[in-house]
Structure 1
Amino acid sequence: MAGSDDDVPPPPPPQTQTQQAPHTVSTIKLPLLKKGEYDIWAMKMEHYLAHTDYPIWEVIQKGNGPVSVSTDTHGVIKVLPPKTAEEILARERERKARTTLLMALPEDHLAKFHKMTDAKEMWEAIKSRFGGNDESKKMQKYILKQQFEGFSVSNSEGLHKGYDRFQSLLSQLEIHGAGVTTEDANQKFLRSLPSAWSQVSLIMRTKPGIDTLSFDDLYNNLRVFESDVKGSTTSSSSMQNVAFVSENTSSTNKASTAYGASSSSGHKP
Structure 2
Amino acid sequence: MSGTHDEIPPPPPPPQETQQKPTQQTPQTVSTIKLPILKKGEYDIWAMKIEHYLAHTDYPIWEVIQNGNGPVSVTLDTTGQIKILPPKTAEEMVLRERERKARTTLLMAIPEDHLAKFHKMTDAKDMWIAIKSRFGGNDESKKMQKYILKQQFEGFTVSNSDGIHKGFGSFY
TM-score by length of 1: 0.43
How many residues in Structure 1 have an aligned counterpart in Structure 2?
128
Q: SS where residue 6 of structure 1 aligns? A: coil
- Seen in structure 2, the aligned counterparts of structure 1 residues 71 and 27 have a Cα distance that, compared at 3 Å, is same
Q: How far apart, in 2, do the equivalents of 1:118 and 1:45 lie?
A: 17
Counterpart of 1:110 in structure 2: which amino acid? Answer: L
CA spacing shift, 1:31–1:85, aligned 2, 3 Å: same
Alpha-carbon spacing, 1:5–1:30, altered in 2? closer, same or farther (3 Å): farther
Q: How does 1:93-108 map to 2 (within 5 A)?
A: 93-108=98-113
> Aligned partners of 1:3 and 1:85: how far apart in 2?
66
Unaligned runs of 5+ in 2: 1-5, 16-21, 143-172
Alignment of 1:1-269 (within 5 A): 3-6=8-11, 24-133=29-138, 135-136=140-141
Q: CA deviation at 1:71?
A: 1.6
Match of residue 153 from structure 2? none
What is the CA–CA distance in structure 2 between the aligned matches of 1:48 and 1:77, rounded to whole Å? 34
User: In the aligned structure 2, how far is the partner of 1:27 from the partner of 1:131?
Assistant: 27
Runs of at least 5 residues in structure 1 that lack an aligned partner in the other structure: 11-16, 138-269
CA RMSD across the alignment:
2.8
The higher radius of gyration belongs to: 1
Larger helix share, 1 or 2: 1
Q: Which has the higher contact order (CA 8 A, sep 6+)?
A: 2
Superposition misfits of 4+ residues, deviation over 6 angstroms: 7-10
Letter in 2 for 1:55: P
Task: State the alpha-carbon separation in 1 of the partners of residues 9 and 30 from structure 2.
Answer: 49
TM-score (normalised: structure 2): 0.65
- What's the % identity of the aligned pairs? 81
Structure 1 residue 6, shift from structure 2 partner? 2.7
